Structure 1
Amino acid sequence: MSEQINTADLYDDRGEELESVAVQFQNLGGHTHFSGQVRTIRCFEDNALVKTVLGTPGEGAVLVVDGQGSLRTALMGDMIAESAVANGWAGVIINGAVRDREALARLPLGIKALGSNPKKSAKTGVGEVDVQLVIDRVRIQPGVMIYSDPDGILVER
């Protein structure tokens, strides 16, 4: 379980130790406040790696998925999100789309994404796990802390 952290207060306290992601992600999960150590995936319209990683013990981590901003296919739906809950993940941030929004909203999981699309993604497993991502000019390294609430996302430098 993530403690409820207010990103505005956290930024006031820690300032330049944190970077703010300006992309206006939508809050789609049952938890609006979540934080944890980062794990990462880079993929494009293919969610096989998302399913695999969220099927492993999360230990309170947050998975950041750089789907390169594509809204053409969903990178996570309710079944994969339920697996994330069962495996102890604190949240998932997707630079891309999800599906099953109503079901996702009922899950005890933090979920941010750009939007939704009912279309399934490919399942070939093309992509990279635990690599550095850059979203909105913010560098996101595996293992750093990330904080998310309705105000936005803060990442440790």
Structure 2
Amino acid sequence: MDWTLEVVVLPVADIGRAIAFYRDKIGFHLDHDTTNEWMHVAQLTPPGSGCSIVVGDLPAQNQMAPGSMRGLHLVVADAAAARAELVGRGVECDEITSFDERDGGTFFGFADPDGNTWAVQQIKARAAKPLIPHDARSRFGEGMEI
């Protein structure tokens, strides 16, 4: 039996600000933004990812302090290009650090407006062998469940 991690709940103080940051600055796809009389919840997915983040005001989300998530992890094939893209969009990023010369040993980080922190790890092998094949993405659409 497969057990897949598909959603991480991210505590934020301002849902609209979080949507704008993750969609417009980081480049995540906005899968849905649902508001009704009981809730406001949005789901965003990094390009090429099978896991999304959810921001909102449901009871479980309100029990976590905004900005309390640390070390959420993204993987890219080229850390320098990814960092340059984010900096070009106005995101404050740490400098790139290589802890190990082997593939997977290079990182940089950033934080969202609430202080939730992200590590971005370079794994060059992802360029040739993505976790979700590009043909599956084109069949189902970026940000869609496969």
Q: Common fold, TM-score beyond 0.5?
A: no
Higher relative contact order (CA 8 A, sep 6+): 1
TM-score where L is the length of structure 1? 0.28
Richer in strand (by share): 1
Richer in helix (by share): 2
Larger Rg: 2
